[in-house]
């Protein structure tokens, strides 16, 4: 393997609003999987050049809406950085390229200090909400940066998007709308500021990575064996079988919408997610038991594409997927974290037949797809953020009144209003005095 091919590791986890309780202190199972695959990639163990870690439902919703995620994000940054350096095969060092959060969705991206870390330029961070009235209970955050070429050329642009889309099996249409809203409103600066000042979409990049809790489910026919399976029989046991999981992929809403209907995720590729068991929905505290209030599904996904991928072969990518799996041992959430290790193609030459590149190589898209920025993107984003803060502060205050319980806080508030009203309605007490 040529050492000039960058190795990218992407990890995603819906922590179920757990805040500091959402991760064990030892992250080796999740954040050091290259130890498992290094022998397939090189003769000597090799650490990833870029590590991207995404979270959804990072902390209780009232704290996220209030914008009080800074401490949790910084604690995660310290822990993640220490863990990836501790478990790096050759004790490589990493630098934080960027971190960004919006309500409960967060993304932290690291670069290996002796490779990518010293060549990063033009770092940008962005966020958008696609909840009710563009609130951030659902939405996406993104990080974009350029890595200079070894020859001093303009290099390539990397765009990472961590997302949390609308839940529930019957809301596929809403998830598709969420995706297009993210494309139109998660905007970055121009690739060439001297030529244009127009914002660019996530597709204006050399490499695109889109991941998170995308919430797509399985639409199983009524006569399917798993539709008739009772919890007593054990959905989990059936999913242990490779052929059962591979059969299920044809009912996966995301694949149907992308590959058959071409309604979303245009140009994005994915590894064989059916190789691991469904990442949702587990009983809290259990390694391998599903909560059958919801049909198990692969809600957590990692997709990608690169500039040399052809729109004529949408099932193939020049990115090698060396690892794609879930981590069953994490039990504080009803989701399992997932991780992918991706080997990128060799970098594009800085010199072309027409001369030096002035802009990085860009993704090739089908001729019938032209992503565009929403002219009202800024208005929508800040409308959502204003509502986030208003509702978040009120919710936070009610929770404080209830000593951590929202219901108790509402009860205390109502009781307080009643007592105040009673006190106000009392007739004034006349002072007593003797007769004259």
pLDDT value, residue 435: 46
pLDDT value, residue 148: 93
Mean pLDDT score, 322-337 = 93
Q: SS3 string of the chain?
A: CCCCCCEEEEEEEECCCCHHHHCCCCCHHHHCCHHHHHHHHCCCCCCCCEEEEEEECCCCHHHHHCCCCHHHHHHHHHHHHHHHHHCCCCCCCEEEEEEEEECCEEEEEEEECCCHHHCEEEEEEEEEECCHHHCCCCEEEEEEEEECCCCCCCCEEEEEEEEECCCCCCCHHHHHHHHHHHHHHCCECCCCCCCCCCCECCCCCCEEEEEEECCCCECCCCCCCCCCCCCCCCHHHHCCCHHHHHHHHHHEHHHHHHHHCCCCCCCCEECCHHHCCCCECECCCCCCCECCCCCCECCEEEEEEECCCCCCCCCCCCCEEEEEEECCCCCCCCECCEEEEEECCCCCCCEECCEECCCCCCCCCCCCCCCCCCCCHHHHHHHHHHHHHHHHHHHHHHHHHCCCCHHHHHHHHHHHHHHHHHHHHCCCCCCCCCCC
Spatial distance between the Cα atoms of 333 and 279, rounded to a whole number of angstroms: 10
Mean pLDDT score, 4-33 = 83
Backbone CA torsion sign across 180, 58, 208, 309: negative
Q: How many percent of the chain have pLDDT more than 70? A: 85
Band of residue 436 on the pLDDT scale cut at 50, 70, 90: very low
Inter-CA distances, 218 with 16, 38, 249, Å: 21, 33, 8
The predicted-structure confidence for 348-369, as pLDDT tens digits, reads as follows 887 777 778 888 999 999 999 9
Band of residue 271 on the pLDDT scale cut at 50, 70, 90: very high
Q: Rounded mean pLDDT of the chain?
A: 88
pLDDT at 405 over 70: no
The predicted-structure confidence for 127-180, as pLDDT tens digits, reads as follows 999 999 999 999 999 999 999 988 878 999 999 999 999 999 999 999 999 999
Mean pLDDT score, 308-321 = 96
pLDDT at 414 over 60: no
For residue 148, count CB atoms less than 10 angstroms from its CB and return exposed for 0-12, middle for 13-18, buried for 19 or more: middle
Spatial distance between the Cα atoms of 432 and 436, rounded to a whole number of angstroms: 13
* Sequence-ordered list of residues with C-beta below 8 angstroms from that of 290, at least 6 positions apart, any chain: 231, 235, 236, 278, 281, 282, 283, 296
Residue 213 backbone dihedrals phi, psi, to 5 degrees: -85, 95
Read off the pTM.
0.91
pLDDT value, residue 129: 98
pLDDT value, residue 234: 66
The predicted-structure confidence for 41-66, as pLDDT tens digits, reads as follows 556 778 899 999 999 999 999 899 99
Report the range out of 16-30, 235-249, 257-271, 287-301 with the highest average pLDDT: 257-271
Residue 281 preceded by cis peptide, ω within 30: yes
Mean pLDDT score, 15-23 = 79
Mean pLDDT score, 236-262 = 92
β-bridge partners, 120 = 147
pLDDT at 103 over 50: yes
Are 75 and 59 a contacting pair, CB within 8 Å? no
pLDDT value, residue 404: 59
For residue 217, count CB atoms less than 10 angstroms from its CB and return exposed for 0-12, middle for 13-18, buried for 19 or more: buried
Residue 345 backbone dihedrals phi, psi, to 5 degrees: -70, 165
Better-scored residue on pLDDT, 430 or 243: 243
Q: How many residues does the chain have?
A: 436
Band of residue 1 on the pLDDT scale cut at 50, 70, 90: very low
Band of residue 391 on the pLDDT scale cut at 50, 70, 90: very high
């Amino acid at each position: 393997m040529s050492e000039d091919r960058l190795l990218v590791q992407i990890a995603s986890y819906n922590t179920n609003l757990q805040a500091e309780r959402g991760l064990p202190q030892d992250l080796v199972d999740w954040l050091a999987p290259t130890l498992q695959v290094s022998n397939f990639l090189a003769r000597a163990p090799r650490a990833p050049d870029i590590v991207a870690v995404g979270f959804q439902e990072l902390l209780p919703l009232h704290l996220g809406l209030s914008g009080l995620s800074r401490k949790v994000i910084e604690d995660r940054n310290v822990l993640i950085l220490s863990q990836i350096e501790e478990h790096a095969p050759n004790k490589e060092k990493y630098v934080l390229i960027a971190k960004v959060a919006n309500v409960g969705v967060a993304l932290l991206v690291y670069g290996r200090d002796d490779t990518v870390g010293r060549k990063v330029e033009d770092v940008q961070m962005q966020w958008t909400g696609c909840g009710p009235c563009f609130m951030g209970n659902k939405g996406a955050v993104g990080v974009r940066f350029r890595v200079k070429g070894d020859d001093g050329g303009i290099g390539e642009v990397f765009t990472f998007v961590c997302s949390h889309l609308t839940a529930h099996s019957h809301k596929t249409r809403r998830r598709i709308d969420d995706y297009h809203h993210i494309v139109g409103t998660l905007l970055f600066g121009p690739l060439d500021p001297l030529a244009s000042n127009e914002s660019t979409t996530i597709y204006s990049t050399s490499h695109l990575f889109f991941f998170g809790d995308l919430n797509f489910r399985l639409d199983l026919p009524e006569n399917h064996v798993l539709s008739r399976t009772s919890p007593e029989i054990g959905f989990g046991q059936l999913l242990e079988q490779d052929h059962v999981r591979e059969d299920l992929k044809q009912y996966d809403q995301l694949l149907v919408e992308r590959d058959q209907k071409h309604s979303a995720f245009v140009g994005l590729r994915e590894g064989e997610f059916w190789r691991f068991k469904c990442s949702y929905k587990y009983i809290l505290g259990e390694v391998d038991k599903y909560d059958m209030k919801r049909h198990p599904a692969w809600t957590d996904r990692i997709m990608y594409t690169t500039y040399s991928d052809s729109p004529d072969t949408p099932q193939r990518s020049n990115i090698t997927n060396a690892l794609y799996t879930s981590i069953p041992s994490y039990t504080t959430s009803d989701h399992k974290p997932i991780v992918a290790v991706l080997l990128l193609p060799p970098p594009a030459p800085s010199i072309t037949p027409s001369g030096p590149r002035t802009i990085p190589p860009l993704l090739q898209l089908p001729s019938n797809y032209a992503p565009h920025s929403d002219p009202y993107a800024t208005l929508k984003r800040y409308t959502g953020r204003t509502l986030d803060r208003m509702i978040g502060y009120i919710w936070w205050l009610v929770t404080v009144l209830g000593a951590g319980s929202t219901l108790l806080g509402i009860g205390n508030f109502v009781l307080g209003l009643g007592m105040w009203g009673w006190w106000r309605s009392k007739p004034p007490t006349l002072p007593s005095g003797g007769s004259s």
